[in-house]
Amino acid sequence: MVDTPCDIAELMRQRLAKADMAGFADLFAADAVFEYPFEVPGWPPVIHGRDEIRDHLVATRSHLGNLIEITGVDTVVHDTADPDVLVFELEVAGIRKATGAPFRFASGVGILTVREGEAVRYRDYTNPLGSAVALGVLPELLAGLASLAG
């Protein structure tokens, strides 16, 4: 049986909850496209192909386990007029390892397109401010944003 967009979204949620970025990337088709429509300093706006998606996600999130423990990822899934496309909201909860302080924030919104049981396009409207606060790296994000201004 071919996985539906809802099935793939649930697998994504499970893998994000485990911080399993390689496993998350495995849900993508070999020629998939991953996009950040809102620019994130130091990240490419568009990534082509499962291998490049995996490389990017693993590299940009490899430090997370040193900074936080994820205790939950909640999603709200919204169907669209296209049965291959859904929108899902992500909320992440956890504990910051340096302080023991809990956090919870709206991580972002994803628009997922699935064909034949694989993600073929993912538009990640990520929340870099919420992530930076949760990770304790807000000054670094602000410096990156300032550098974009010239």
**Interval 37-69: pLDDT, tens:** 987 778 899 999 999 999 999 998 888 888 899
Per-residue pLDDT band at 132 (split at 50, 70, 90):
confident
> What does the pLDDT read at residue 147?
80
Strand partners, 69: 95
User: In which residue are the tokens 């809102």 written?
Assistant: 38
- Check if the beta carbon of residue 141 is closer than 8 Å to that of residue 127: no
Q: Coil, helix or strand for 9?
A: helix
| pLDDT, tens digit, 9 for 90 and up, residues 2-34 | 689 999 999 999 999 999 999 999 999 999 999
pLDDT over threshold 50, residue 1:
no
Phi and psi at residue 19, to the nearest 5°: 55, 35
> What does the pLDDT read at residue 2?
60
All domains in the chain, ordered by first residue: 5-148 (3.10.450.50)
Q: How many other C-beta atoms can be found within 10 angstroms of the C-beta atom of residue 146?
A: 10
Q: Does the reported pTM lie above 0.75?
A: yes
Report how far residue 66's alpha carbon sits from residue 45's, in angstroms, rounded to the nearest whole number: 26
